[in-house]
Structure 1
Amino acid sequence: MDPLSLLRDYTVRNEVESIQQVGNEIEFGEDYKFPCNMETAYRSKQGSLYTLEALVFFVKNTHLKHTLYMQQARSLKLQIITFTDRKPLLDYLEGKVSTTDAIELLAPAVGALPSSRDERERLARLNQDDETGEFHGLNDVGSGPAKRLWSTVDDWEADLDGKYLDSSRLIDLIRERERPIRDRETILLCPNKSFQGILAMLSKRDEEKKKTEEQQRKEQEKSSEPSMPPPNPSNRFAKVEEKRFWRDHLGTDAEELGIDPTQSYIEDAAKQKEAAPSKPRPADLRRPYNHTPQRFVSSSPSSSISKAKPEGVPIILVPNALQTLLNTYNAKEFLEDGIYVAPDVKAKINGKKPEVIHIQRKMGRPVPVKYEVRDKATSLFSKDWERVVAVFVLGKEWQFKDWPFKDHVDILNKILGVYLRFEDDSMESVKVVKQWNVKIISLSKHKRHQDRTAVLEFWDKVDAFIRARKLNIVF
Structure 2
Amino acid sequence: MDPLSILREYTMRSDLESIKQVGDEFLFGDEYRFVCNMDTAYRSKQGSLYTLDSLVFFVKNTHTKHTDYMQQARALKLQTVTFIDRKALLDYLEGRVQNTDAIELLAPTAAVSGAPPPHLHHMDAPSEDDVEEYRPDDPSFAPSKRSRLDDAMVDVGASAAGMAEYEPVEMDASRMISFIKERERPIRDRNSILLCHNKDFQEILTMLTKRDEEKKKAEELKEAGDRQQSNDRYDEKRYWKDHDTEDPHSYKPKDMLAGKGKADVTRASHSHHSHRQSLSMVPAPRSGTSLLSAAGQKGAKVEGGPPIILVPSAAQTLLNMYNAKEFLEDGVYVAADAKNKKPEVVTFHRKMGRPKPVKYEVRDKPTALSPKDWERVIAVFVLGKEWQFKDWPFKDHVEIFSKIMGIYLRFEDDSVDSAKIVKQWNVKIISLSKHKRHQDRTAVLQFWDSLENFICARRVNIVF
Short-chain TM bin: 0.3 to 0.5
Instruction: Point out the structure with max Rg over C-alpha.
Output: 2
> TM-score scaled to structure 1, two decimals?
0.39
